[in-house]
Amino acid sequence: MLKVENLHTHYGQIEALKGISLEVNDGEIVTLIGANGAGKSTTLKTISGQLAPTEGTVSLDGEVVSGMLAHKVTEKGIIQVPEGRRIFPRMTVAENLEMGAFLRKDAEGIKEDLEQVFTLFPRLKERINQKGGTLSGGEQQMLAMGRGIMARPKLLMLDEPSMGLAPVVVETIFEIIERLNKEGITILLVEQNAAMALSVAHRGYVLEVGSIALEGPGKELLHNEQVRKTYLGES
C-alpha cells in the first residue's frame, strides 16, 4: 500500500533522512522506533507532505504522493495524527471531529464514523460540547485519533501517541490502535515507547541517525538483543 523508497530529507544543510526505504502493506500495523533525533517524525512528516524530500519517493497504491502539499496527501487518504496531538483547542469536541471529515461529502458515512469514534472513545461522547483545549492529555490524544478516523483513512499515521501520557492511558491508547487495525485500518506508528509499539506491530523498523538499522516482525525485534539493549533499556 505505502511504499517509501530511498527517502532523503534535509533541514537546510542538515540531512535528517539518509535514504529511508520502507513498506506498509494493507491491514498492517507497522512501527518506526528509534532514539531522539533518529528521524522518526521527519519520516512521517515527509510522508504526510509537511516536508518535501530532496530525493526519493513515497507512493500510495502505486501513485507517487511525495512532493504533494499536506492537504493533497490527506486527500489521497494518508491521514496523520500529528505529534503533540494538535487538536483545535478552541473548537468543541464535536467541531474537532467534524473538521476531521472536512473533505468528505457523504453525510451518512460521516454519521457512521462518528458512531464508531464514540464507541471507541465513550469519553469523547461525554465531552462532546467541551472545548478541545480543556481536555486532559489522554482525552486530547483520543480526540486527535478520532479526528483522524473521521477522515476515513487508507493509512493512519500516528506520531508518538503515547507522548506525555500516564501509563494506564498509554495502555488504552494501544488497545485502541489494535482495535482500529482489526477493523481494517492500516497503521503506521511512530513511537519512543519501543516495547509497547513492537508488541502491537506486525512489523517494525529501527531508525538510527537517519537510516534504517534493522527491520523485521514486531515480536522478533522485541526479542532482538541489540534492540533490547538500545531501546528497551536492558543491559
Compute φ and ψ for 175, nearest 5 degrees.
-60, -40
Binds another protein by CB under 8 A, chosen from 34, 39, 53, 100? 100
Count CB-CB contacts under 10 A for residue 135.
21
Binding piece for another protein, criterion CB under 8 A, among 9-17, 113-121, 195-203, 217-225: 113-121
CB of 18 to another protein, least distance (A): 25
- Residue 178 binding another protein, by CB under 8 A: no
What Å distances lie between residue 136 and 24, 91, 95, 199, 232, CA to CA?
32, 15, 17, 26, 28
Axis crossing angle, helix 137-149 with helix 167-182, rounded to the nearest 10: 10
- Residue 126 binding another protein, by CB under 8 A: yes
Opening angle at CA 141, ends 179 and 217, nearest 5? 45
Q: Which is nearer to another protein, 70 or 213 (CB)?
A: 70
- Residue 151 binding another protein, by CB under 8 A: yes
In 3-state terms, what secondary structure has residue 207?
strand
- Residue 97 binding another protein, by CB under 8 A: yes
CB of 59 to another protein, least distance (A): 19
Decide if 127 contacts 93 (C-beta within 8 A).
yes
Q: Which is nearer to another protein, 154 or 228 (CB)?
A: 154
- Residue 63 binding another protein, by CB under 8 A: no
Binds another protein by CB under 8 A, chosen from 26, 115, 223, 226? 115
Binds another protein by CB under 8 A, chosen from 10, 21, 99, 199? 99
- DSSP one-letter string for 97-144: HHHHTTT---HHHHHHHHHHHHHH-HHHHHTTTSBGGGS-HHHHHHHH
The CA-based dihedral angle spanning residues 87, 112, 47, 222, taken in that order and rounded to the nearest 10 degrees: 90
Binds another protein by CB under 8 A, chosen from 25, 26, 166, 183? 166
In the complex, which residues of this chain contact another protein (CB under 8 A)?
48-50, 69-71, 74-75, 79-82, 86-92, 94-95, 97-100, 102-103, 110-111, 114-115, 118, 123, 125-131, 134-139, 147, 151, 166-169, 172
